[in-house]
Amino acid sequence: MEDVARLSSNLRKKGIPVSIRSTHNAFLVSEFFSHIKTAETYNYLKEALSAVYVKNKDQLKEFNQVFDATFKAKDDSKIIKLKNSTSKPKKNNAGEKFSNYKMEQDSSNFKMDSKIKLSSINEDKINFNPPLADYEGIDLRENSLMERDINELDFFEAELFELCQKLGRKIANKRARRNKRSKTNRIDIRRSIRKNLKYGGVLIELEKRKPYLKKNQHFFLSDVSGSCDWISNWFFCMVYAAQKSFNQSRFFDFDNKSVETTRALSEKNLMEGFTRVREIRQKNIMMHGTSNMYTAFNSFIKQANLNHKSIVLILTDCRDWAGPKKFKKPLSADLMEHMCRISKKVIILNPEPKIKWNVVDSCVSDYEDAGAQIMEVRNLKQLARLVEHI
């Protein structure tokens, strides 16, 4: 039991979530191998415990390291000898069977041949129920990545790509459940009362309310200038994974002009879609450009054909570096007011901390006065929640 407890403690230090139930199940599994000392059994034990502790394939490498370090620390010489041994166990006097080993399970003794297969173990003795506490939400490592400042994230880290896709799928599932609940036929009280007047007002025949069909069109506008290029990549990853939950969604990139990149969302996988986006940006010379939101918004309005069913989501730091100004007010604010007037809703996701808003060339207050809703986005968790509730 001490070995299993030490293993659980070391795994927690490495960031792998381990619950009490996992530790208990690991102890039950280790009891089957407690009296068997062969190199093959060592590997079986390692594989069996990995099935209990490892919930994600990315955790397997660290588990193997912690397992080897934990059991070698206890009796290094015996374990090394056990792993390097290639000799077979001694045979009994009959020369036909291996020696039997005594094992304890649930305060009862039974014998098991050292060559017996694991599949022949009595399944009634094992609790196959998954440790539910381990599956609640996202594991500790992913949770730390979601709460980390986006400025500190490495875009070339493969784990972040998988996390963004997982967040996108989670957004799509939640939106699908929400839409399904909104379409359930509820009772229409007024129509039911009118229909049942012939029965003296007694509700005998109920009338169901017809579901309200939402036909909102979503426009995603992403700032790819030098100050926001780093977060626009994560934004595209989430929208790519959650695109099916949005009705007629369209995706645009902008710096000093806007270019539609919606066709990149139709690629087979995320990497191909992202490659397509980079190609579109290169063809339009939009690699780390300078923001001119006046010309960019003007170009976007001409392409988008906004109406009262349009929801516009803009990812930008609201810094109009090269945009024209009149009386110290950016002219892009007039275009923002026009977008808010002709569309249903305009939401701006600002990756800068609030203490930097309205400083130097920041146009946050101007866009708020124009009617846009501005929200702070400092990590992937905030970004996912805002996209989810659109």
Q: Is 19 inside any structural domain?
A: yes
Q: What whole-number distance in Å separates Cα of residue 233 and Cα of residue 354?
A: 22
Q: Give yes or no: residues 203 and 254 share one domain.
A: no
The first and second tokens of residue 377, run together, are 């986005």
Q: Is 144 inside any structural domain?
A: no
Q: Is 151 inside any structural domain?
A: no
Q: Give yes or no: residues 325 and 177 share one domain.
A: yes
Q: Give yes or no: residues 131 and 255 share one domain.
A: no
Pick from 286, 374, 366, 373: nearest CA to 325? 366
Q: What is the CATH number of the domain that holds 336?
A: 3.40.50.410
* Residue located via tokens 């609201």: 318
Q: Give yes or no: residues 242 and 380 share one domain.
A: yes
Summary count for the chain: helices (H), strands (E): 14, 10
Specify the number of domains making up the chain.
Answer: 3
Q: Is 35 inside any structural domain?
A: yes
What confidence tens digit (pLDDT) does each residue in 126-147 have? 443 444 343 344 444 555 555 5
Q: Give yes or no: residues 195 and 174 share one domain.
A: no
Please state whether beta strands 100-105 and 108-113 pair in parallel, antiparallel, or not at all (unpaired). antiparallel
Please state whether beta strands 250-254 and 258-260 pair in parallel, antiparallel, or not at all (unpaired). antiparallel
DSSP assignment letter at 379: S
Q: What SS3 class is residue 286?
A: coil
The answer to pTM > 0.95 is: no
Q: Give yes or no: residues 74 and 165 share one domain.
A: no
Q: Give yes or no: residues 99 and 175 share one domain.
A: no
Q: What pLDDT was estimated at residue 277?
A: 83
DSSP assignment letter at 138: S
Please report which helix (H) or strand (E) contains residue 45, including its range: helix 39-53
Q: Is 112 inside any structural domain?
A: yes
Domain finish residue from 103, 136, 169: 136
DSSP assignment letter at 107: T
Q: Is 150 inside any structural domain?
A: no
Q: Give yes or no: residues 225 and 363 share one domain.
A: yes
Q: Give yes or no: residues 81 and 223 share one domain.
A: no
Pick from 33, 25, 13, 29: nearest CA to 134? 25
- Please provide the distance, in angstroms rounded to a whole number, between the alpha carbons at the two ends of the chain: 50
Higher pLDDT, 166 or 203: 203
Q: Determine the average pLDDT of the residues in 207-233.
A: 76
Spell out the residues 6+ positions from residue 164 whose beta carbon is closer than 8 angstroms to its own.
234, 237, 238, 241, 380
386 alpha carbon, distance to own chain's centre: 14
Q: Give yes or no: residues 339 and 378 share one domain.
A: yes
Q: Give yes or no: residues 219 and 357 share one domain.
A: yes
Which structural domain range is residue 283 located in?
158-182+215-388
Q: Is 307 inside any structural domain?
A: yes
183 pLDDT more than 70: no
Q: Is 43 inside any structural domain?
A: yes
Residue 177: pLDDT band (50, 70, 90) is confident
Q: Give yes or no: residues 23 and 119 share one domain.
A: yes
Alpha-carbon dihedral 173, 176, 180, 183, rounded to 10 degrees: 160
**Mean residue pLDDT across the chain:** 72
